[in-house]
Amino acid sequence: MERLDLGEFIAGYLAEAEEHLASANVNLLALDASLKKQEKNPRAVRELFRSLHTLKGLSAMVGAEAIVDISHEMETLLRTADRSGMSIPGIAVDLLLAGVRAIEERVANLSRGEPLAAAPKELIERLAALDPADARASPQRVLSLEPELLSKLSSAEHEQLLSGLAKGLRALRVDFVPSPGRSEQGVNITSVRKRVGELGEIVKVVPRSLPELGAGRVSFALLLVTSASDAELAEAAAAEPGDVRVIAESDAAPGDMPPVEPLLEAESTAVDTLKRNVVRVEVSRLDDALDRLAVLVVSRARLQRAVDELAQGAGDLRRVSRLVSEGSRELRDLRAAIMRARMVSVAELMERAPLIVRGASKASKKQVHLTIDSGRAELDKSVADRLFPAVVHLLRNAVDHAIEPPEERKARGKPEEGTIRVTCVEEGGSQLSLVIEDDGRGIDRERVALRAASPIPETDAQLLELITRPGLSTLEAATQTSGRGLGMDIVKRIAVDDLGGELELETRPHLGTKFTLRVPVSVTIIDVFSLQCGDETFVVPVSAVDDLAELSDGAVTTTPDVQRSSHVRLLRHRGVTMPLFKLSRLLGMAIPSVQRPKALIVRKQNEVFAFEVDCMLGKQEVVVRPIKDPLVDVPGVSGSTDLGDGRPTLVLDLLGLMSHELDARSAAS
């Protein structure tokens, strides 16, 4: 019998798995938030169960038995919780999160074509041992009720009474004893239940036999949560005030379930192991792209007809020129439609941020609250994938370095729970500003300077230069989330070097720190300035250029550089004096004599620099392709493109070129 090849199903499986895992994470976070408020969240439990059940079936179809085993144990735990009144202890959430992390790692194995790791034995055993219906795993609080009444309460009813207490209501027991006299007056359990129900929320009515009053005599214990007074309830139940008793809560003996600290490392480090390679696109966006393509197809037919007529000597060149212009506009519209289809919402990008903060805060034993305001901002998928590791690093740093321990915050008059805010705003439709700020201790300039063996920085910009040095860390020892020798240089490399954006820092002692990342919305199809140096043509992204200038004789001056025994050229433009670099010299090319050279002015934080070019050719849209071969990856070149002549044209990173030149000068001096 021929063996079935499941390879063709893997791509579809990965897409489905990523979607169900994303849903599982969202519902686990919702469940965790509800537990902190001492509330139940049946919907989150059932949605989580549905995601895991579907994932288990899909994994069985492609032979991913390790994922089946993990999903099965998690599913069993949730099914038991559902039957026991949605009673989910906090330890179960930790184990379920560890289970999702383990599944994500194995889905990532499949996506890379690697062997599937076996299901973690310890995690499987802990999931199997945890029973939400068991007293060890139930909420560690009990009610001051007689064992006979407690035994009649389901887990959901038990939790309902506790939730009422947590909300500031009173939990009460009202006893009603029927009698012939009361029955003649129309007072029975039905009427009492109705009247008491108008004063509060009745959780349970428990009938009890009263042998001391005679055979067949019963009473009813009404258990409820309410804000009404004892007198009002006694009157409604036709009872004495003494028949209204307060139900209090007390701590139960701690359970003997082992802690899950060994699993926290998996939660904090595996959160970004699974990269999503699928973009969910609204049908309306696809329809728009198809409409643009249809218009372009018609225009091409019209252009072909006009060219044929021109070839026969009967055409009009002006008509051809007009059709080419219309085609260019329609091509831009198609490009915009395709780019919209590639966009992902920043809210989707930040879905995993709460998991990162939760894992880091548990590992560091700090209380941290995360708020995210992403609005309707969107990013190109390729930019989002590159940017997310920088966001992960900043969030972990905020928890580990910035937010103080609860006792330190309390001593400074701060809330014990720290706050991290993430805000995203689109700027001009072509750039995204992402701000990550905290209310922690701020960055200690003296400590950073000591670790970097440098003078104490006076400005935030100088401080940023220090903390983004490769390998710099202010921690004496590595922790689960920080101190591994991978510092803020990662964030700078992603935001500035890879994406051509900006990174800014603001920090104040004991008040907090704010990092601002400004990155282009897309780096695939961009607007560029084309320019000429010598005999070669280069392009520079428009977003990287702050201004253009003519180099007149009066605008350029030369001043001696005493440190290097050379001269520095300066450009005076719009009242600002800035260093002027000759681009041909930076590129190692022959320096021609040009009558009227131009200058590109770029900005790095609060500093401006000018680059002299031989000739500006114009502005156009190009498709940028990254240079992945390390043998041709050089400083100052961010990619290549084709301007329509069939030759590769380099995309320049002017600030990268300048930094490389300054480093070379420093090494030579």
The pLDDT mean for the chain works out to: 79
Dump the DSSP string for 470-498: TT--S-SS--SSS-SS--THHHHIIIIII
Report whether 619 contacts 573 (CB < 8 A): no
Asked if the structure places residue 548 within a domain, the reply is yes
Integer Cα distance of 635 and 548 in angstroms: 23
End residue of a domain, out of 205, 227, 251: 251
Say yes or no: 213 and 323 in one domain.
no
**What span, in angstroms and rounded, lies between the C-alpha atoms of 123 and 128?**
9
Specify whether 422 is located in the same domain as 453: yes
Asked if 334 and 369 sit in the same domain, the reply is no
Q: Are residues 431 and 551 in the same domain?
A: no
In a domain, 264, yes or no: no
Lowest-pLDDT range of 215-224, 381-390, 609-618? 215-224
In the prediction, which pLDDT does 564 show? 53
| Residue 27 maps to a domain | yes
pLDDT of residue 142: 65
In contact, 154 and 203? CB cutoff 8 Å: no
What is the reported pTM?
Answer: 0.60
The two tokens of residue 22 are: 């994303």
Based on its alpha-carbon atoms, the radius of gyration of the chain, rounded to whole angstroms, reads 34
User: Of 141, 172, 185, which is closest to residue 38 (Cα–Cα)?
Assistant: 141
Residues 533 and 660 in one domain: yes
Q: What is the CATH number of the domain that holds 336?
A: 1.10.287
- Tracing tokens 């999503």 back to the chain, one arrives at 276
Q: Give me the pLDDT at residue 351, please.
A: 81
Domain holding 321, by residue range, is 283-342
Taking the CA of residue 194 as centre, how many other CA atoms within 13 Å lie in the half-sphere pointing to its CB? 5
Task: Verify that 584 and 650 share a domain, yes or no.
Answer: yes
pLDDT for res 255: 41
How many Å from the N-terminal Cα to the C-terminal Cα in the chain? Answer: 74
Strand blocks (E) in 213-357 = 218-226, 244-246, 249-251, 343-345
pLDDT band at 261 (very low <50, low <70, confident <90, very high): very low
- Given 83, 118, 138, the domain boundary residue is 138
For residues 80 and 108, membership in a common domain is answered with yes
Do 480 and 403 reside in the same domain of the chain? yes
Domain-located, residue 576: yes
pLDDT digits (tens, 9 = 90+) for 478-487: 454 554 445 6
Q: Of the segments 214-218, 316-320, 515-519, 567-571, which one has the largest average pLDDT value?
A: 515-519
Final residue of a domain: which of 459, 485, 520? 520
Note the pLDDT tens digit of each residue in 426-451.
Answer: 876 678 889 999 999 999 888 888 88
What CA–CA distances, in Å, run from 214 to 179, 209, 210, 503?
12, 9, 7, 83
Is 258 part of any domain?
no
Indicate if 364 and 456 belong to the same structural domain: yes
- Number of structural domains in the chain: 5
Neighbours of 551 (CB within 10 A): 18
Task: Specify if 257 maps to a domain.
Answer: no
Q: How far apart are CA 402 and CA 397, in angstroms?
A: 7
**Any residues with CB less than 8 A from the CB of 667 and at least 6 apart, and which?**
none
What is the pLDDT confidence band of residue 507, given thresholds at 50, 70 and 90?
Answer: very high
Which of the two residues, 165 and 669, has the higher pLDDT score? 165
Q: Tell me, yes or no, whether 595 and 623 share the same domain.
A: yes
For residue 377, name the pLDDT band (cuts at 50, 70, 90): confident
Kindly tell me if the per-residue pLDDT of 356 is higher than 50.
yes
Task: Please tell me the distance from the alpha carbon of residue 42 to that of residue 86, in angstroms, as a whole number.
Answer: 6
The domain spanning residue 183 has which CATH number? 3.30.70
Tally of helices (H runs) and strands (E runs) in the chain: 22, 24
**Does residue 424 lie within any of the structural domains?**
yes
Residue 270 maps to a domain: no
CA–CA separation, 602 vs 655, rounded Å? 8
CATH code, domain with 435: 3.30.565.10
- Name the nearest CA neighbour of 430 among 518, 335, 348: 518
- Measured CA distances, 288 to 181, 291, 294, 333, 361 (Å): 78, 5, 10, 10, 44
**If we measure between CA atoms, which residue out of 351, 221, 305, 267 comes closest to residue 98?**
267
* Same structural domain, 635 and 568: yes
Structure tokens at 167: 């909300």
* CATH code of the domain containing 63: 1.20.120.160
Q: How deeply is 197 buried, as exposed, middle or buried, from its count of CB atoms within 10 A (0-12, 13-18, 19+)?
A: middle
Share of the chain above pLDDT 90, in %: 8
| Tokens (6 digits) for 486 | 């991978």
pLDDT digits (tens, 9 = 90+) for 198-248: 998 888 888 887 666 565 678 888 898 898 888 888 888 888 878 888 888
The pLDDT of residue 420 is above 90 = yes
pLDDT of residue 331: 83
Which residues, including other chains, have CB under 8 Å from residue 214's CB and lie 6 or more apart? Answer: none
Residue type, 79: R
Residue (of 253, 321, 331) closest to 292 by Cα position: 331
pLDDT of residue 83: 63
Tell whether the model's pLDDT for residue 10 goes beyond 90: no
Cβ partners under 8 Å of residue 141, min gap 6: 162, 249, 250, 251, 252
Residue pLDDT, tens place only, 642-655? 887 778 888 888 88
**pLDDT for position 409:** 92
Residues 161 and 309 in one domain: no
Q: Where does the pLDDT of residue 131 fall: very low under 50, low under 70, confident under 90, or very high at 90 and above? A: low
Looking at per-residue confidence, does 167 or 21 come out higher? 21
